Amino acid sequence: MKTRTKGQAVFRFAQRSEQHVRWVCFWIAGLGLLWLWDLFFLNSPALSLVRTALFNSLLAGLLVVFFSMTLGWGTGLLVYSLEKRKNTLPYIVVTFVFNLIRSLPQIVGILLGYVLLTALIVQDILRSPFLQLVSMSFVVSLFVFLEVMDLIRERIAHYKQLDFFDAMLCCGIKESRIVNVEILRKNSLAHLVHKGVAVFGMALFLQCSIDFILSVGLSTEVSSTNFPATLGSMLARMDSKQDILAISMVFSDPSYVTSLFTRHLQGLNIAFALVFTLVCAYNIANGLVRRYHL
Amino acid sequence: MQRKITEHIGSLAFVAIVFAVLLVLLKQREAADRQARVKAVAPYLSIPGCDFGNPRDRALFNETLNLFRPASPRANDTLISAMESYRQSQFTDPNLKTGAGEQGLTWHVLGRLSLMYLQFVLVYGIVLALTFYGAQSLGIYRFVRMKQGRGSYLEEFLHLVSGPKVRGRTPSRIMEASFLLLKTFLKGAAYAILFSPAYVIGYSFKASFETDSLLFMILLGVVSNGLLVNYANKFYTLLATENRKGYVETALVKNLSGEFFWNAPGGIAYRSILSLPRHFPGHVLQHIYLNARHQYFPTLKEQASFLITGLIIIEMALNIQGHLCYELLQNILYRQYDVVLTILFGIFLLVKVTDILVDVRHHREGLRYENKN
């Protein structure tokens, strides 16, 4: 009787499964391994901080996806209805505002948003850390949602050209139902999931970058210490920076590489979690493109 | 086209007006705040015989205040801290210092900023050109590999490992598998670098290399923040979409080559992917490439905005002194809002000029494609 080892079974799974499923599994396994390694080699206060930062960053990323989808869907429909009703002035104003947001480098916009958030935190209006995280995510999504809006408009325009749209109208189905249910929910779900994954990666990158910049000392008031810990703010701590700086020691002393994974774990850990998540998000998105021919 | 240009110029004018209004408002508010601060603490600071630099006098004043106004201890504390910060500002406020560097937006500062701006534009132009070229080359490379029916190195490795075993071929299979595993590892390392935020790479090399140089900044701008790999992916997607269109099959029927093997007769030469301008004579890829490039061109606007985000991150996070965004950071810190708004407007102007150039070029090329030119 033919028996199969566990290793072969893993190989078979990896070979047969679709790219996006495989990368989701890689991501979970990678973070799991990292956590195990940390359990053995990272001191418990640092481990607790890293865990909180990772959780906050992932939660913030998911919140950005949620806000971006909601804003993108809403504004996409708004622009579509204005365009359809030939409301020239409101249409011009709305597209002008959106193009203006598009032209503003995201990091600058988010930085300005963080200045506002700090004012709210200093005035004790935003007290709860969860509320702060939600507000941070909302600010990030304000500069990311346009991608979702473009996708929504593109999907509607694509289906509107087909006979399917007119046929449904002739059947007496309301246009709002055709757009929201038939086009977007039933026929564009894969596109939206793909965009959601891309937005998640982008949100993670932007949020970590902004937290890192804040730590450089943008001002005494706008400080990363005002906000909940994320991967970016953890990476910006002096001890984490020193861990990252230690990588360059390998160029002068290659044997030092073994010490990196035990003595400089905090910084490397955070950098790895961030980069690994970004790589996985990219591959999951690509897998979805390949699977659904997006 | 005219409408687009009008919109761009309109948004430039709008932002300029908003910034100007903001500047005036901020200046007014700053002056009012300063006056209010002075007005609130001046009567107490001029109490004869009371030296607020002396901790004993300070403590005495605090106790007296609490005796006179026992119902509002919080207001008393606020007053004490306001007086303390006012006294500190007499020593630390750059506006009150003599012999310090020039404050606010003067002609001299503007001249200095202009030089930094030119340097920023130079770096931006070079990185944009390199990423535009690199993204297309990588996109075509991936597309050709896809047409060859090859998956990732990891997939090839898994295929090899789980495939049927042929007696006597074991050593060569092990060699091949090791080679594929090495390629997988190298590709993984390359991806890790390409997706790393600039500050992670910057700090990794800071102790061993000169990270403040222009060359390092350009290199960092190209390879970090996922810019290259994401836009290569976009170009690849456009190539794959074009490949599904009907004209490709028509072209093949009309005897254009559809062979995608490297350097084979009728195939794709490595150097044709890297050369400029790219030509694939007699090959269907020529048409796929040209059509994909036409659609890719407008994404240059998005790429430009993201690239500027990346450059701002590099200059701010790595504290590269003497560069525009480091200056921006410093001026936010010292609350020189006129300088901050000028720099932000300069950055916005750069994005808008790129948008206009891309739109004009895309429009002209579009006319050529539609045989209207």
Give the pLDDT confidence of A163-174 residue by residue, as tens digits: 888 898 999 999
pLDDT at A274 over 60: yes
**B326 close contact with A: CB closer than 8 A:** no
- Alpha-carbon distance A9 to B30, whole Å? 69
Domains identified in chain A, total number: 1
**B352 close contact with A: CB closer than 8 A:** yes
**With 0-12 CB in 10 A as exposed, 13-18 as middle and 19+ as buried, what is B178?**
exposed
pLDDT at A224 over 60: no
Answer yes or no: do B305 and A219 touch at CB < 8 A: no
Q: Give me the domain span that covers residue A24.
A: 18-292
Alpha-carbon gap: B127 to the closest alpha carbon of chain A (Å) = 16
Q: Is residue A13 part of a domain?
A: no
Give the residue on B whose Cα is nearest the Cα of A147: B302
pLDDT in tens, chain B (373 residues): 788 888 888 888 888 898 889 888 888 887 887 788 788 788 887 788 778 778 888 888 888 888 888 877 777 877 887 888 777 777 776 666 665 555 677 888 888 899 999 999 999 999 999 999 999 999 999 899 888 887 778 778 877 877 776 666 677 888 888 888 898 889 888 888 888 888 888 888 876 667 677 888 888 888 888 889 889 988 998 898 888 888 888 988 988 888 888 888 888 888 888 888 888 888 889 999 999 999 898 888 888 888 888 888 888 777 777 888 888 888 877 778 888 889 989 999 999 999 899 989 888 888 887 776 6
Structure tokens at A201: 């990666």
Q: Is residue A9 part of a domain?
A: no
Tell which of B161, B313, B333 to mutate to test the A interface (max A CBs under 10 Å): B313
Handedness of CA B253, B254, B259, B260 (dihedral sign): negative
Helix axes B214-223, B198-206, angle to 10 degrees: 140
Tell which of B316, B333, B340, B350 to mutate to test the A interface (max A CBs under 10 Å): B316
Give the residue on A whose Cα is nearest the Cα of B325: A108
Identity of the residue in B305, B317, B329 whose CB atom sits nearest the CB atom of A102: B305
Answer yes or no: do B308 and A105 touch at CB < 8 A: yes
- Are B260 and B144 contacting, i.e. CB atoms less than 8 angstroms apart? yes
Alpha-carbon gap: A170 to the closest alpha carbon of chain B (Å) = 30
How many CA atoms are closer than 13 Å to the CA of B141, on its beta-carbon side? 14
Maximum distance among all alpha carbons in chain B?
104
How many Cβ atoms from other residues are within 10 Å of residue B341's Cβ? 20
Alpha-carbon gap: A182 to the closest alpha carbon of chain B (Å) = 24
**B142 close contact with A: CB closer than 8 A:** no
Domains of chain B, by residue range, sit at 2-96, 108-150+197-334
How many Cβ atoms from other residues are within 10 Å of residue A14's Cβ? 17
How many CA atoms are closer than 13 Å to the CA of B223, on its beta-carbon side? 15
Structure tokens at B108: 């001299």
Spatial CB neighbours of A22, under 8 Å, sequence gap ≥ 6: A14, A287
